[in-house]
Structures are given as C-alpha cells and as structure tokens.
Structure 1
Amino acid sequence: MELIRTPQPELADLIQRTLTRNGFTVERSEVGDQLVLSIPDEHQYPHARQLVQELIGDLKRQQGQVAVEPLTGRPQPLLSGGWLASMGWVTKTILVLCAVIFLTPWLIGNEVYSALLFPNSLSGLAAQPWRLVSPMLLHFSLLHILFNLLWWADLGRLIERFQSSGQLLMVTLVTSAVANVAQFLTSGPAFGGLSGVVYGLLGYLWIYGRLNPGAGYALRREIVIFMLAWMVICFVGLSGVVANAAHLAGLVSGCVLGGIFGLIRRGSANGAV
C-alpha cells in the first residue's frame, strides 16, 4: 500500500529510516522524479501512516513546508492518539516524572524535593550520585514547569524520533550534569528545573543540524534566536531568580555534543542517523 511520495531523496531516506527503526517493512520505488515508499503489510499501514504524519508535522514546524505529496489512503488526524502518543518513552517519562514530583509537596510534603536537590557539597555526590542530575526534575511554580515541559516535549521528541531514545537520554543526562554543577558552583544547591537541559537540547539540535544537514531536520533560526535572546534577558534582568549558569552551561555542553555527533554522522554514509 502506497504511503508517501516525494522528490526529495533526503526526506525519503529519513522517513524510511524512521519506519524501519520502528519495526515496519518498507518498500521503495521510483515513479518519474518521485520516490515512493510503500507498506506491503496492510495491518502495519495505519500505524505507519500515523508515524509519517507526525514526523512530517514536526518537520513542518521546525523547517517550514516540506515538499511532499499528500499521504494516500484513508484520512487520519494528525497526532492521532493524543499528545503523549506522539512522543517516545524517554520524552514521556521525564514529562510525567516532572509533573508528578511537582505535586508531591501538596500530597506528601517536601521529602521528595529534599531527596532530589543537589547536595551541599560536591563530595556528597559520592554517596548520592543521582543528585547530580535529579534537580532537573524539580520545579517551583506552575509557570516554571509549563515553560520547561513544553520546550522539553518539542525538542526532546525530535531527538528521540529522528535519532533514538538512547541518544536523547545521553544528551539529557550529560547536559543536566554539566548545568547542575555549574549552577551549584555559582549559587549553591538551592535550584532546580529542566531549563538547563532544554538549553542543552537546543544547542545539540542547533549545531547537529548545521553540521549534518543531510539528516533532514534542523531548528528554525527564529527558535534559536528567541531562546538565545531569552537567555540574555534573564542574565541582564532576572539574574537573582533564574538559574542562568545552568542555562549557559547546558547550552554550551549541548553545542559540544551536537558538534561531536554531527561531525561523526556527517562522516558516515550520507549523514545517516
């Protein structure tokens, strides 16, 4: 059953890799100047079609319109199955953990927050190593958690869908650790939030996309400019209430990871992810 056709080899490669990685059997053919991807198993078709719709929707939001013919077959709404269904397990897990932990002070008291805060000294990490990254799960206001989770969901699922869950988990843990240590050295242990990781994901996708354009996805310039401008505003006017060191350290560590993996993948076969 024909799934999609496009004149762009990079887009066809990206869709085929994504489907194959998710367990679908994909057939590829050429019709004139169009590349056609088909799903021979009719039972797999509805799920494959949904995945491709979600993938193209993400590409349109990140890059503008994608040159692709409309999907064939029965109509199905974009992001069918709900918002959470469009995310991978790492994106979902962090989102749910942050939301549940945010509610714990009202439900069971402050014990959970106390157990997840950064320790009072770096030597305390030897006995409680999870505290190196656990502050990313803590939020202190509704606006704080909403802002962070919306960006997390948008940026995290790009990495998880187009690369892998393991890659997103690695980038998250590394940028969280770097951001948390930087913030501790600047202001002590009284901090929390996913924003350092959000800036890490931003930096990763930004540099990865510039170095490895063959991957077929990248952040729009306006998104990068907005987030960098917001970071500068926080440094200038909100230095007392925002974890600026975590933002900057997360961004820099994400850029470094994006540079490393962007160059590695660009050097592999046609920039395959």
Structure 2
Amino acid sequence: MFVRTESFSQFIRFYPIISIIVFIHLVLYGMTILPLVPHLWVYEQLAGVNLYIFNGEWWRLFTPIFVHMGFAHFLFNSFSLVLFGPALERFLGKFWFVTVYLGTGIIANIATYLFKPLTYSHVGASGAIFGLFGLYLAMVIFHKHMLTRQNKQIILPIVVIGLIMTFVQSGINLTAHVVGLLAGVAIGWVLLPRLKRTF
C-alpha cells in the first residue's frame, strides 16, 4: 500500500495530482534559494501571516500549503505526500483527492488563523497531509470493511507516530496538524460511503 515500486515516469503517469503538487513544492522552494529571486519574496507573498489575512489577503489560507521553510521541511512533506498519497489518489480519483487534500489544508489554515495570534505566520503542507491521515483514520474507525487487517496495522502506528511527533517537536503548527487530522476524519466519515470501494 505504501511501498513505491514505480519508475519515475510511471509514478507521474499513475499519480499526476501528487506529481503536480510536489513539482509546485520544488519550484517554490527553488525560488527561495535561487539568487534571481529576492530571498524572502516567496514567504512575503505566500506565507500564512494572520495579520495579512485579517487585512483581507485571503489567498494566504491557500498558498501556505505549497510553501516550505528550508530543505528539510520541503523534503519531509514532499516525501510524506509521495509515500502516503498515491493509494488515496488511486482510491478517491483525481477530483476527490484534490478536494480532500486542499480542503483539509485550507480548514487547517483557517483554524490557524482563528486560534493563533495575529502575529503568527506559517507555511507547509502538514495540515493537508494530516488530512490524508485523517481520511485513513476514518476508514479504520467508521468504514472498517474498506481496509484489510494488514493495512489497518500499518495505518494506525503511522497516525499515532505523526501525532506524537506533533506534540514533542518544537516549531510545529499544532493547530494545523490536529485540525487537519480531524477534518480528514470528518470528510472521510461523510465521503467514503458514497464511493463504495475498498483497498
């Protein structure tokens, strides 16, 4: 389920949405390190700065999903998407995968705006990635028939480890992680019965 055996070209062909998202990650990260672009331009224009959102820059509820602070942040979130996303892109289909991914990411950013101070700023795809974790968790809790026992045994430790890391690491947007996860669970509870599919 989470083992990738495709070649690079096969991955792009089988999972075009994830490939596009990771490409956007790469382009925006590249813009933060290339001398042709002012160093902080990407963050100044696209980061989720609560004060700017309060002043009407609503696109900042969307754009932080694709922006990362440093190589490790970019690599970890992109790798997580490549590892955990393909099974859901195939299972949900392109439309619903995009809807769930962006929807949970935006919900996580709205929560960050509502519950964090106006001085708070953030970037990263973690809220959306935790939304995918939440969808998997919805299968485990509400729609057990959609997963094999083996897949359940894989998913639960991943979600638990992700939550533990959220609480023990510094500099993490705890609000986005938790709300993204809960949004994924809620969307999965409503959406999954309509699909009538199993892994």
TM-score range, shorter chain: 0.7 to 0.9
Quickly say closer, same or farther: Cα 1:217–1:198, change in 2 above 3 A: farther
1:101/1:138 contact within 8 Å kept: yes
What is the identity, as a one-letter code, of the residue corresponding to 1:228? V
> Quick one: which of 20, 31, 50 aligns to 1:93?
20
Size of the aligned set, in residue pairs, is 191
Quickly say closer, same or farther: Cα 1:81–1:147, change in 2 above 3 A: closer
2:130/2:180 contact within 8 Å kept: yes
Is the counterpart of residue 205 in structure 1 residue 131 in structure 2? no
Q: Which residue of 2 aligns with 1:171?
A: 100
Bigger RCO of structures 1 and 2 (CA < 8 A, at least 6 apart): 2
2:136/2:155 contact within 8 Å kept: no
1:202/1:224 contact within 8 Å kept: no
Is the counterpart of residue 118 in structure 1 residue 45 in structure 2? no
Aligned-pair identity in percent equals: 21
Where structure 1 has 5 or more consecutive residues not aligned to the other structure, the ranges are 1-57, 63-77, 266-270
Distance apart, 1:81 and its partner CA: 5.0
What is the identity, as a one-letter code, of the residue corresponding to 2:136? L
The CA distance in 2 between the partners of 1:162 and 1:222, in whole Å, is 17
The CA distance in 1 between the partners of 2:55 and 2:95, in whole Å, is 28
Q: Which of 1 and 2 has greater Rg? A: 1
Quickly say closer, same or farther: Cα 1:245–1:83, change in 2 above 3 A: farther
Distance apart, 1:151 and its partner CA: 1.2
1:87/1:153 contact within 8 Å kept: no
Distance apart, 1:101 and its partner CA: 0.5
Q: What is the SS of the residue equivalent to 2:121?
A: coil
Q: TM-score under structure 1 normalisation?
A: 0.61
The CA distance in 1 between the partners of 2:143 and 2:179, in whole Å, is 23
Quickly say closer, same or farther: Cα 1:83–1:183, change in 2 above 3 A: farther
Distance apart, 1:178 and its partner CA: 1.4
Quickly say closer, same or farther: Cα 1:88–1:217, change in 2 above 3 A: farther
More divergent stretch after superposition (219-228 vs 202-211): 219-228
The CA distance in 1 between the partners of 2:136 and 2:162, in whole Å, is 18
The CA distance in 2 between the partners of 1:158 and 1:147, in whole Å, is 18
Quickly say closer, same or farther: Cα 1:82–1:260, change in 2 above 3 A: same
Once the two structures are superposed, the pairs formed by residues 140-155 of structure 1 within 5 Å of their partners are: 140-155=69-84
Q: TM-score under structure 2 normalisation?
A: 0.81
